[in-house]
């Protein structure tokens, strides 16, 4: 590993010892404040918890324009089903495999801990000459850009921002989708279990999941859709009543596992299991390329005090048909870039809690009108099933600025460093740049980052050689402002 990369990864590992799940960034925030105070840098925080560290320019660079380096403090905390990891107390355990860095049975948290590590490493390197810097580290990005939406814009004086939350080295992101979540709720009518009922546990797991923006175009299995398809197949062969259903862990995560429990008359159990197994085999064949580890487990269980009641037949049918009817996956592609997703929906979370069904979906689009339409579709399906619907305010898209001076500068430097042009594109995932641009008019922005695969899942991994290339670009970019005044 290159010495510079080693230093960055060492710093990233130190950061990864600190708990930082979304909405629980207090410890990483204190650590960053301590880091700044040790070096004599001013730190300012707003009421939401977003931090800005003011780093003076290298001697002789004081009149250069202020540059903002930006990332988020929180991470998606996902782990494999059999993992005992406790995100509140346990450090992330790094695993190196050739040129890739991953974590043992959990998300790695390079989204976006590597941004923090690279920004701090740049400031600490005495060989790097830089203009005045503002290090902006936001909170609660992963639950809908919640932190940056409440950011106090007066924290920032700079108008050139480098977001370090992109996940393909050599790709400059200059725009992103907007997003909005919708929650459907419906009270369910229940019936008591009878002495003639048997419970069947239906568990679907082993799917790859991933980021609901970046990975939505890969057509991976959505576990909530898989469980809905299984339940629909079961309804075709034997009448049953749902006892429970639960799947998904986050609004921006493609569900990797989902589970349902059904009650059925003892004499119909064999027919149900045959129908479920036939559909399970079909699903495994259908997703053999995208989700080769998809597993469907069927188990007969005896009723217990916790399963004294089940959902009535009418509401069981409505619930299953609701999950079948809700859209999930790419809805529309970009007309100018047919390989890129314009609009999508993620059937993110499903649960029955105290006889209430709660379904959370996440819509994304680079076109505000299409985002509205995706939300209206989800809301309409929910209302047809008798559910109440509530869509959040969401966050805006970041439209591409074709006149960006920062983009022109970065493109020229990249070609000079590596002998080839970077790829310039927009991203279907949400980036904080859209919100920052609304709060700070005139902000010139670009998003870059090292190559990261399968974020938001335990398969997340970071390409180590790409860290060095992004580092070289950052250093060259800092030095390029040397003679620029204003």
Full DSSP string of 82-96: T----TTTPPP-EEE
∠ CA 109-113-119, nearest 5°, is 165
Strand extents, DSSP E, 252-354: 253-254, 258-265, 295-301, 309-311, 329-333, 341-353
471 backbone dihedrals φ, ψ, rounded to 5°: -60, -50
d(CA 293, CA 237) in angstroms, rounded, equals 27
Helix axes 26-38, 110-124, angle to 10 degrees: 10
Active site residues: 74, 141
Query: Structure tokens of 474?
Result: 């950052």
5, β-bridge pairs: none
Closest CA to 286 of 339, 222, 200: 222
- Going by their DSSP bridges, the two strands 423-427 and 171-176 should be labelled as parallel
3-class SS of residue 344: strand
| Strand partners of residue 52 | 44, 136
Q: To 5 degrees, how large is the angle CA 203–CA 81–CA 227?
A: 25
Q: Which residue has the tokens 């929910």?
A: 382
For residues 66 and 160, the answer to whether their CB atoms sit within 8 Å is yes
d(CA 9, CA 318) in angstroms, rounded, equals 50
Residue pair 148/50 in contact (Cβ under 8 Å)? The answer is: yes
Name 152's Cβ contacts closer than 8 Å, sequence gap at least 6. Answer: 46, 47, 48, 50
DSSP H stretches of helix in 385-424: 405-418
CA–CA distance, 239 with 272 (Å, rounded to integer): 8
Q: Are 138 and 155 in contact (CB under 8 A)?
A: no
* Nearest residue to 127 (alpha-carbon basis) of 471, 486, 484: 471
Q: How far apart are CA 161 and CA 442, in angstroms?
A: 11
Cα–Cα distance between 140 and 146 in angstroms, integer? 6
């Amino acid at each position: 590993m290159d010495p510079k990369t080693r230093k960055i990864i060492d710093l990233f590992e130190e950061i990864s010892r600190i708990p930082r799940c979304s909405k629980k960034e207090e410890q990483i925030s204190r650590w960053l404040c301590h880091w700044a105070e040790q070096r004599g840098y001013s730190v300012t925080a707003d009421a939401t918890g977003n931090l800005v560290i003011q780093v003076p320019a290298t001697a002789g660079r004081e009149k250069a324009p202020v540059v903002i380096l930006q990332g988020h403090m929180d991470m998606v905390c996902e782990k494999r089903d059999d993992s005992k990891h406790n995100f509140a107390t346990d450090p992330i355990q790094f695993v190196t495999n050739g040129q890739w860095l991953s974590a043992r049975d959990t998300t790695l948290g390079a989204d976006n801990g590597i941004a923090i590590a690279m920004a701090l490493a740049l400031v600490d390197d005495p060989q790097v000459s830089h203009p005045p810097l503002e290090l902006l580290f936001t909170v609660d990005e992963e639950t809908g850009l919640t932190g940056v939406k409440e950011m106090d814009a007066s924290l920032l004086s700079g108008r050139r921002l480098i977001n370090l939350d992109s996940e393909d080295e050599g790709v400059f992101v200059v725009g992103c989708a907007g997003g909005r979540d919708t929650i459907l709720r419906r009270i369910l009518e229940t019936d008591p279990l009878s002495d003639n009922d048997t419970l069947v546990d239906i568990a679907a797991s082993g799917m790859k999941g991933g980021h609901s923006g970046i990975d939505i175009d890969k057509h991976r299995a959505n576990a909530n859709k898989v469980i809905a398809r299984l339940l629909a197949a079961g309804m075709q062969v034997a009448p049953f009543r749902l006892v429970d259903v639960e799947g998904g862990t986050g609004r921006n995560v493609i569900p990797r596992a989902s589970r349902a429990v059904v009650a059925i008359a003892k004499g119909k159990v064999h027919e149900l299991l045959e129908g479920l197994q036939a559909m399970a085999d079909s699903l495994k064949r259908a997703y053999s390329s995208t989700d080769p580890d998809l597993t469907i487990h069927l188990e007969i269980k005896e009723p217990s005090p916790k399963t004294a009641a089940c959902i009535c037949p009418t509401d069981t049918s409505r619930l299953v048909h609701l999950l079948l009817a809700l859209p999930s996956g790419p809805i529309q592609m970009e007309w100018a870039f047919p390989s890129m997703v314009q609009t999508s929906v993620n059937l993110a979370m499903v649960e029955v809690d105290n006889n209430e069904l709660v379904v959370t979906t996440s819509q994304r689009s680079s076109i505000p009108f299409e985002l509205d339409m995706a939300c209206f579709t989800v809301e309409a399906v929910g209302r047809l099933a008798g559910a109440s619907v509530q869509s959040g305010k969401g966050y805006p898209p970041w439209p591409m600025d074709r006149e960006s001076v920062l983009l022109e500068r970065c493109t020229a430097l990249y070609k000079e460093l590596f002998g080839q042009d970077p790829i310039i594109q927009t991203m279907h995932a949400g980036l904080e740049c859209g919100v920052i641009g609304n709060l700070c008019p005139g902000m010139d922005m670009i998003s870059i980052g090292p190559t990261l695969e399968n974020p938001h899942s335990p398969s997340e991994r970071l390409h180590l050689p790409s860290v060095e290339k992004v580092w070289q670009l950052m250093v060259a970019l800092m030095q390029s402002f040397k003679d620029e005044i204003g």
